[in-house]
């Protein structure tokens, strides 16, 4: 088969690249899930490795369905902007503040622990998205972080770093 013939058949099928990316990502997630060590203190059949297997499998199914749809002539709808004015430039301040919240989480998680870094992440995200009720947002951020920690540490058996709070909790 000539390159020109193949190029002609694949013209307008750029979504196949997305399907390929999803397939590679799904395989990567499954391979990484297979290399996870057994969970410490796991009490039942569901441990921390179940979620990556489900996500990887769903990525592979999505990739397959997207590839079949594209090869049958399906096309993604062009962005119509719905309630977005496409002539207005992006709100870079919000994007940068969200990036800063994620970066702070990455920097703080090992030294300050998950409870502190998670609170900074959740509060920083809410602040970046426009909320200015600092006390309420901070209390909700602490509650969400503590609930997330309890879910991961005690329900899934995934130890999260506690930093200086290691002996306290």
Q: What integer pLDDT is reported at residue 152 of this predicted model?
A: 86
What's the sign of the alpha-carbon dihedral 75, 80, 82, 85? positive
Residue ranges of the domains in the chain?
11-71, 92-165
Q: What integer pLDDT is reported at residue 3 of this predicted model?
A: 56
Q: What integer pLDDT is reported at residue 49 of this predicted model?
A: 77
Per-residue pLDDT of the chain (169 residues; tens, 9 = 90+): 555 555 555 556 778 899 999 999 999 999 998 888 776 666 666 777 788 999 999 999 999 999 999 888 877 676 665 677 777 888 899 999 999 999 999 999 989 999 999 999 999 999 999 999 999 999 999 999 999 998 888 887 788 888 887 777 6
pTM of the model: 0.56
Q: What integer pLDDT is reported at residue 12 of this predicted model?
A: 64
Select from 163, 77, 45, 78 the least CA-distant residue to 112: 163
Select from 149, 157, 89 the least CA-distant residue to 113: 149
Q: What integer pLDDT is reported at residue 88 of this predicted model?
A: 80
Give the Cα separation of 134 and 56 in Å (integer): 38
Half-sphere exposure in the Cβ direction for 148 (13 Å, CA)? 17
Instruction: Quote the longest CA-to-CA distance of the chain.
Output: 68
């Amino acid at each position: 088969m000539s390159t020109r013939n193949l190029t002609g058949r694949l013209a307008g099928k750029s979504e196949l690249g997305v399907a390929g990316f999803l397939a590679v990502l799904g395989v990567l997630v499954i391979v990484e899930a297979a290399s996870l060590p057994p969970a410490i203190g796991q009490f039942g059949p569901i441990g921390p490795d179940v979620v990556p297997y489900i996500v990887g499998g769903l990525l592979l199914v999505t990739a397959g369905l997207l590839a079949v749809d594209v090869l049958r002539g399906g096309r993604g709808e062009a962005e119509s902007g719905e309630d977005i004015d496409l002539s207005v430039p992006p709100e870079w301040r919000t994007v940068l503040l969200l990036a800063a919240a994620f970066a702070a989480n990455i920097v703080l998680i090992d030294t300050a622990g998950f409870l502190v870094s998670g609170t900074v992440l959740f509060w920083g995200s809410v602040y970046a998205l426009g909320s200015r009720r600092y006390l309420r947002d901070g209390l909700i951020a602490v509650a969400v972080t503590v609930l997330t920690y309890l879910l991961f540490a005690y329900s899934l058996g995934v130890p999260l770093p506690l930093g200086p709070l290691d002996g306290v909790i």
